[in-house]
Amino acid sequence: MVENVMDKIVSLAKRRGFIYPGSELYGGLANTYDYGPVGTELLRNIKNLWWKYFVQSRPDMVGLDGSIISHHKIWEASGHVAGFADAMVDCKNCKSRFRADHVIEDYLSRMGTDPSQYGIHFKSLVFDSSWGFNKGTEIEDIIRKQKVEGLDENQLDALIKYIFKISCPKCNIKNGNWTPVRKFNLLFPVQLGIVEGEGGLGYLRGETAQLIFTNFRNVVDSTRVRLPFGIAQLGKSFRNEITPGNSVFRTIEFEQGEIEYFFDHDETKWEPLFEEWKKTMDAFVVKQLGINKENVRWRLHADEERSFYSKRTEDMEYKFPFGFKELWGLAYRTDYDLTRHQEASKKELTIVDPKTGKKVLPHVIEPAVGINRLLLMVLVDAYVEEEKRTVLKIAPQLAPYKVAVFPLLANKPELIKKAHEVFTLLSPVYMTAFDDRGNIGKRYLSQDEIGTPWCVTIDFDTLADDTVTIRDRDTARQERIKVADLILYFARKLES
């Protein structure tokens, strides 16, 4: 049932031009997607709204657009070369590769939170010294928490092969036929220069955040920012992810919106700042993106799950059809990143407080989100099946087209001409569609499926009195409006 909803959304997204599978013409390329005409508009609208909300409308924020290909030393200093790796396991039978934590967590969610339902007598389980566990109660805790973050490769290996004896999710071979769990780095290396070795090694950035830290000095020196302030970046990141499924939820190339909010931790208490950021993120999701707040929750990372440099991490999670999943991470990263780059580059990254002359190496709070995940959430949250139609009730300011203009009949030149005039009036202000195919009812249904909030029909009365019919997507109600009032009418609707 749940998968059914996701299947329907994925199918609508392809059929109506939101999201296509990547490289489909040549058989597809796993974990890549292309955005079609309306998907491109929706993605752009979400990005623009994010930028406007977090950068342009705040006096304490500035923007940055860092390079995608960057020096290998950035990623060595940040710890990504050594530690940005996922534990993977391969099925020797069907040759599929999986993230080890996902294999276990999917199994746990199928089996439930009650250890007695697992058919394992945890008290009498004999533990091998290589497993990294000592007592059955440790395994029972994992079952109750349904989480394995923070466990090492040996522990994941033991859980999959010896304790739970999990079958391959793809070929289902009983008790599994697994390779050892191994770590794979997620960074994509790029060889720079025409001759191999000439330009040396670079990396496609694995997150946008590091470019904010490496440009911190430049921003401070070239602008008039004062602590506390934030630097925001919106752009592509790349990770060699192998997890299949769930559309654009997890892809190897994705758009990130990241903010590093710098503050002097002697002057500003981090706890209230952290809470303030949670509220700001909530307001963006609920008020700006129009998401139902019942579908959003916060989850605090436990100690074993949190990165060692983070004092607190919380994930905003959204209720996708495949479960509550991370949408947006919020972490207090202390001065870890600036310290690492200061040490590795041997350049001072402190900022001088103009009032006291004190040198400060700022701490940061980092809200980091995947824009494509926001887009998937918007589609899921907006998807409504009614008796006679499927509607995407997308917040009007995000909708790919704001208005669709229809001539009532396609074979009446005077109606077509007038409809083109209305299109020309509206299109410089609002993204406007024009459709004269099929009957009006079908055109409405077609616009409902891509979330167009208003349809304007030009009929014979229009020619007589210059009024049109506006039909509302959500209520299907119609009203008659003068052509001259249309622009103001939509402006008021978009404001409300």
Smallest distance, ligand ATP to C-beta of residue 372, A: 5
Residue closer to ligand ATP by CB (options 83, 441) is 83
* Interface positions with ligand ATP (CB under 6 A): 207, 239, 241, 250-251, 254, 256, 326-329, 368-370, 372-373
Which one, 371 or 470, has the nearer CB to ligand ATP?
371
Yes or no: say if 254 and 199 are a contact pair by the CB < 8 Å rule.
no
Least gap, CB of 25 to ligand ATP (angstroms): 23
Position closest to ligand ATP via CB: 370
Annotate 433-466 with b (16+ C-beta within 10 A) or e (fewer).
bbbbeeebeebbebbbbbbbbbbbbbbeebeeee
Q: For the CB of residue 310, give the shortest distance to ligand ATP in the complex, in Å.
A: 10
Query: Which of residues 238 and 444 has its CB atom nearest to ligand ATP in the complex?
Result: 238
The Cα 63–Cα 225 span in angstroms is 12
Residue (360 or 376) nearer to ligand ATP, CB: 376
- Our measurement of the distance from residue 268's CA atom to the centroid of its chain's CA atoms, rounded to an integer in Å, reads 30
Least CB distance from residue 417 to ligand ATP, whole Å? 46
CA distance 353 to 368: 27
What is the DSSP secondary-structure string of 419-477? HHHHHHHHTTTS-EEE--SS-HHHHHHHHHHHT--EEEEE-HHHHHH-EEEEEETTT--
Output the smallest distance, CB 144 to ligand ATP, in A: 21
CA distance 420 to 413: 10
- Residue 368 CB, nearest distance to ligand ATP (Å)? 4
C-alpha dist (Å) from residue 424 to 284, 462, 480: 33, 16, 20
- Residue 351 CB, nearest distance to ligand ATP (Å)? 25
| 245 or 354: CB nearest ligand ATP | 245
Q: Least distance (Å) from ligand ATP to the CB of residue 366?
A: 8
Which two structure tokens, joined as six digits, stand for 72?
């290998």
Nearer to ligand ATP, 340 or 373 (CB): 373
Nearer to ligand ATP (CB atom), residue 173 or residue 368: 368
CB 251 within 8 A of CB 241: yes
Q: Is 150 exposed, middle or buried (0-12, 13-18, 19+ CB in 10 A)?
A: middle
C-beta closer to ligand ATP: residue 138 or 305:
305
| Residue 133: CB minimum distance to ligand ATP, A | 23
Rounded (to 5) percent helix, strand, coil in the chain: 40, 25, 35
Nearest CA to 297 out of 273, 256, 325 is that of 325
The length of the chain is: 496
- Euclidean distance between CA atoms 370 and 33, whole angstroms: 14
449 in Cβ contact with 390 (< 8 Å): yes
176 or 257: CB nearest ligand ATP? 257
31 or 447: CB nearest ligand ATP: 31
Of 241 and 449, CB closest to ligand ATP: 241
How many other C-beta atoms lie within 10 A of the C-beta of residue 75? Answer: 24
Instruction: For the CB of residue 360, give the shortest distance to ligand ATP in the complex, in Å.
Output: 26
* CB closer to ligand ATP, 13 vs 405: 13
Closest CA to 166 of 250, 89, 244: 89
Beta carbons of 13 and 400 less than 8 angstroms apart: no
DSSP β-bridge partners for residue 233: 64, 258
Least Cβ distance, residue 209 to ligand ATP (angstroms): 8
Smallest distance from ligand ATP to CB 208, Å: 9
Coil, strand or helix: which one is 368?
strand
Alpha helices (H) along 185-224: 209-214, 216-222
Cα–Cα distance, 171 to 94 (Å, whole number): 6
CA dist., res. 318 & res. 282, Å (int): 11
CB of 31 to ligand ATP, least distance (A): 8
Q: Which is nearer to ligand ATP, 31 or 457 (by Cβ)?
A: 31
H or E stretch including 379? helix 371-382
